[in-house]
């Protein structure tokens, strides 16, 4: 898991919390699909499940000034 500077609003705990990104991985339930969860860093509720092309640890990264 990685804990970064990105914060999310969690409807479960009604809080602006740090976002935890699960390690992206395959499992027996989803065949070849590589997936992981975006989780509230306060109450650990799953906010969303995402899929990626390669397993590993991901993070959000600022790529440009606006």
Cα–Cα dist 9/12, whole Å: 9
Domain membership flag for residue 57: no
3 pLDDT more than 60: no
Q: What's the predicted TM-score (pTM) here?
A: 0.76
Let me know if residue 21 belongs to a domain: yes
Q: Which residue has the tokens 């606006």?
A: 66
Name the pLDDT band for 2 (thresholds 50, 70, 90). very low
Quick check: is 35 in a domain? yes
Q: Which residue has the higher pLDDT, 4 or 43?
A: 43
Mean pLDDT of 14-43: 90
Q: Which contiguous run of DSSP H or E holds residue 14?
A: none
Q: Supply angle C-alpha 29, 30, 34, rounded to 5.
A: 130
CATH number at 7 reads: 2.20.25
Tell me, yes or no, whether 61 lies in a domain.
no
What pLDDT score does 59 carry? 84
Mean pLDDT of 10-25: 93
């Amino acid at each position: 898991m990685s804990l970064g500077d990105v914060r999310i609003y969690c409807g479960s705990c009604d809080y602006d919390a740090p976002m935890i990104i699960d390690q992206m991985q395959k499992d027996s339930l989803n065949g070849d699909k590589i997936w992981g969860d975006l989780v509230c860093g306060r109450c650990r509720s799953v906010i969303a499940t995402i899929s990626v092309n390669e397993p590993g640890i991901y993070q959000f990264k600022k790529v440009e000034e606006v």
